[in-house]
Amino acid sequence: MQIKRLRIAGFKSFVDPVDLVIERGLTGVVGPNGCGKSNLLEALRWTMGENSAKSLRGTGMEDVIFAGTATRPPRDFAEVSILLDAPVPGGEVAEREVVRRIERGAGSAYRIDGRDVRAKDVGLLFADAATGAHSPALVSQNRIGAVIAAKPAERRAMLEDAAGIAGLHVRRRDAEQKLRATEANLLRLDELIADQD
């Protein structure tokens, strides 16, 4: 998976729309304290589905919307788009655009390639691409210690994430649920047939 562009509008300190084009190779972001470097990582994480206000350094979900400054009024919405090359069925890689938008009082919504989708679909897309809001590849300043101190089970989850099999676990859970529901239906059917006899 390769992230090619991050487009941010109204998210935290990024009040005006901004495009961050990420070329192949190593990209560094430099700037003075408080200029918004960590907010970039949070914009990525949030669009990938992060919902924990704590890990987004806020107290409520709407805290990600530009809150205003002495010279600029607050915004009513925040929108972040990630343009990336992601794996698609058949082993191919295709360009996808994932957008998350939040409006004051109206909650947040996701789109993939312009279509409204569920948070779960976005989660699966990033899990299949071996990344995501909780990917070990995204290490914020306060998480470095947590990675080092992780318990074996947590570290296993990180390795599975890194190996790109996290999406398979979600699908397995879904399949198991469907199987249980079908088994219950079959049982009910057997009872109905027995009643007929």
What whole-number distance in Å separates Cα of residue 139 and Cα of residue 147?
9
* Closer CB to ligand ATP, 59 or 196, in the complex: 59
Best CA proximity match to 137, nearest among 123, 122, 158? 158
Q: Should residue 67 be labelled a site residue for ligand ATP when binding is judged by CB under 6 A?
A: yes
- Would you say 38 is a known binding-site residue? yes
Q: Should residue 138 be labelled a site residue for ligand ATP when binding is judged by CB under 6 A?
A: no
- Would you say 32 is a known binding-site residue? yes
3-state helix, strand, coil in the chain (%, to 5): 40, 25, 35
* Closer CB to ligand ATP, 39 or 131, in the complex: 39
What whole-number distance in Å separates Cα of residue 160 and Cα of residue 150?
14
* Out of 1, 4, 22, 37, the residue judged to bind ligand ATP by CB under 6 A: 37
* Chain mean position to CA 40: 14
- Would you say 74 is a known binding-site residue? no
- Would you say 142 is a known binding-site residue? no
Q: Closest approach of Cβ 12 to ligand ATP, in Å?
A: 4
Written as six digits, the tokens of 161 are 């994430």
Asked whether 137 and 126 are in contact (CB, 8 A), the reply is no
Map residues 14-33 to x or -, x wherever contact with ligand ATP holds by CB under 6 A.
Answer: -----------------x-x
Q: Should residue 89 be labelled a site residue for ligand ATP when binding is judged by CB under 6 A?
A: no
Element housing 44 (H / E): helix 37-47
Q: Should residue 38 be labelled a site residue for ligand ATP when binding is judged by CB under 6 A?
A: yes
Can you give the binding site for ligand ATP, defined by CB under 6 A?
A: 12-13, 31, 33-39, 63, 65-67
Known binding-site positions for ATP: 32-39
